Every structure is written in structure tokens, then in C-alpha cells.
Amino acid sequence: MNKAYDVPYMLRTRDYYRAQGYDKDYQWAHNSDAPFTPLAKPLAGSTLAVITTAMPDTEQGRAERRVYSTVCDPIPDSMYTEELSWDKGATHTRDVNSFLPLVQLGELAKQNKLGGITSRFHSVPTTYSQRATREQDAPEILKRCLEDGADIALLVPL
């Protein structure tokens, strides 16, 4: 990596917030009371839900920033990622398998290393509101994962 282009994540986020006109720097979430929870059953017997920050593509391009559920089969050809923060100069998101690992997870299930994947994956918006995430999006994602019979979830942020 070229050191001239390295920007620490915290500094980049602070600068982004200031450029957006926020008076206060972003306060990172800190959950000291979140307990470690071991798997209730072996991974080979567990059904996995995939949760991503990429949104479904729409005919209009920009997807509304809300929780979505999308069937895993067929795997989407593309996802809407343009408004998300990632290094667009160094990489791209044209290969959905590079950030939505449904093919790879399906292979693990075929090899009996994973019990299976839920029939849907879920998109959760990236917002800078911890309260909205905690009080709206996370409970909705949990509800949908439970509806799908998920035992565990894999969070795939972009």
C-alpha cells in the first residue's frame, strides 16, 4: 500500500462528518455488556443468514435506505453500492460474489461444513444513527432471521 494514501479510518470518518456539517464528531458504539454466546449447535448443523449493507438494485438505481430481504436463489447479478463508503479507486463491486458470499457459503453447505443458508439474505442500511440501528433495523433483521429459521448470522459490511 502507498503510505501517501493511507488515511486512518477514525480520522476519515471524523473528517466526513465535519464535511457533512455535523457539529460533533461521530461517537463510536461501545457495548461493554454484549455477552459472548457460543453456538447452540455445531456449525455443520446450523442454518446461516447473510446480512449485508449493500442494497438491492432497483430500476431507478438508488434503493431506499431500509431493511430489505432478497431471495438467495438466484443470486442477484448486482447490488446497489454506490452510496456506500469503500475505496472505489482500488476496487469495485461489479462481482457480487466478492462481497456477498452466497456461492462460497453454498459450497460449505455442500461439503457439510455448514448446515445450510436461509432462503433469503437481508440488507440493512448503513446509517450514522446508533439509535435507529439499535431500535429499528436490528430488531427487524432479527425478526426476519428468526422467520427464516436462522441459527446464526454472518454480517458482511461493505
pLDDT for position 126: 81
Q: What is the pLDDT of residue 47?
A: 98
Of 104, 109, 103, 106, nearest in space to 45 by CA: 109
pLDDT at 92: 81
> How far apart are the C-alpha atoms of 115 and 48, rounded to whole Å?
8
Query: Domain segments of the chain: what residues?
Result: 40-156
What pLDDT, on the 0 to 100 scale, is given for residue 158?
79
d(CA 15, CA 65): 23
Total residues found in the chain within this entry: 158
pLDDT digits (tens, 9 = 90+) for 102-145: 999 999 999 999 999 999 999 998 877 888 888 999 999 999 99
pTM: 0.81
Tens digits of per-residue pLDDT, 23-71?
A: 887 777 777 777 778 899 999 999 999 999 888 887 666 667 789 999 9
CB-based burial label for 108 (10 Å; 0-12, 13-18, 19+): middle
- Alpha-carbon dihedral of residues 128, 131, 134, 140, nearest 10 degrees? -90
Question: Which pLDDT score is estimated for 138?
Answer: 93
